[in-house]
Amino acid sequence: MTARRTLALIAAPLAALPAAAQLVVQPKTANERAAAGWTFAVTPYVWLPSVDGTVNVDPSAGGGGAAAGDFKREAALMVAGEARKGPWAIVGDVVFLDLSRDTTSVEGLVAQAAVSRALGPSFAVLGGVRYFSLEASVDTPSGNRSREEELVDVIVGVRGRAGLGDGPWFFQYHVDAGTGDSKLTWQALAGVGYSFKWGEALLAYRHLSYDQEGDKPIQSLEFSGPALGARFTF
């Protein structure tokens, strides 16, 4: 993945959004602030995914699939954010992946953007786009083999949160699925958060899946693991 391409991939979703926040949601005072206009949130967070699946780097050699199940669990760096006014919100998410296993390495970037509309105090529908850029390489006796792929998929889903009693604790969820360049991609997230005066913190579990056919570099790929984020609203 070239430096120019990487910078372009990072700049595109960030320019389209004030940021993206499906990992954490607005605090309980968000409705009061939203009455005066737009509210914004930025969320730096980390994800510790394990990886399972098959990456096809050499289709000419009988498939050349490299199993991804033994990749080391490494932290994925992320940034998220949200722009909200009333029941409407623009949300998104950018994830940087750099995983390795023996002679195999996978570098990727996942960026998604969506528009959501609240249909109730704890339920919203959303529609948007998810972009996935992948570069996979394997060292073989005949040399290094690598492949790159870019996927763009349309997604639809639901998201929301619900307070746990009258205190600062809350439960949050997000589920989406879609297709396009992928045969199927889907994502699920669920977690528990705590509201502070400065913002919110959330501990969640996130799963992201891709499925394809033929000689595509990504035959199947699943990322699963805990995520921890802190959300700042302004």
DSSP-derived secondary structure for 89-138: EEEEEEEEEEEEETTEEEEEEEEEEEEEEEEETTEEEEEEEEEEEEEEEE
Q: Are 1 and 148 in contact (CB under 8 A)?
A: yes
CB under 8 Å to 27, separation ≥6 — which residues?
195, 199, 200, 233
CATH classification (class only), 3-233:
mainly beta
pLDDT at 81 over 60: yes
pTM for the complete prediction? 0.77
Asked if residue 94 lies in contact with residue 46, where contact means CB atoms within 8 angstroms, the answer is no
Q: How many CB atoms lie within 10 A of CB 166?
A: 6
> How would you class 10 by CB atoms within 10 Å of its CB: exposed for 0-12, middle for 13-18, buried for 19 or more?
middle
Which structure tokens are listed for 103?
Answer: 């002679």
Indicate if the pLDDT at residue 24 is higher than 70.
no
pLDDT tens per residue across span 115-131: 999 999 899 999 999 99
pLDDT in tens, 167-178: 999 999 999 999
- Sorting pLDDT into bands at 50, 70 and 90, what band is 214? low
Is residue 15's pLDDT more than 50? no
For residues 38-64, average pLDDT: 75
- Give CB contacts under 8 A, 24+ apart, made by 25-30: 25/82, 25/159, 25/160, 25/161, 25/170, 25/172, 25/193, 25/200, 25/231, 26/82, 26/84, 26/233, 27/195, 27/199, 27/200, 27/233, 28/163, 28/195, 30/84, 30/233
Residue 71's pLDDT band (boundaries 50, 70, 90)?
low
Q: Which residue has the higher pLDDT, 26 or 36?
A: 36
C-alpha 110 chain-centroid distance: 6
8-state DSSP, 75: P
Predicted confidence (pLDDT) per residue in 148-202, tens digit? 889 999 999 999 999 998 899 999 999 999 999 999 999 999 999 999 988 999 9
Per cent of the chain over pLDDT 90 is 47
pLDDT tens-digit profile of 215-229? 676 678 888 999 999
Amino acid 142: pLDDT: 74
- List Cα–Cα distances, 38 to 27, 31, 41, 221, in angstroms: 14, 10, 10, 37
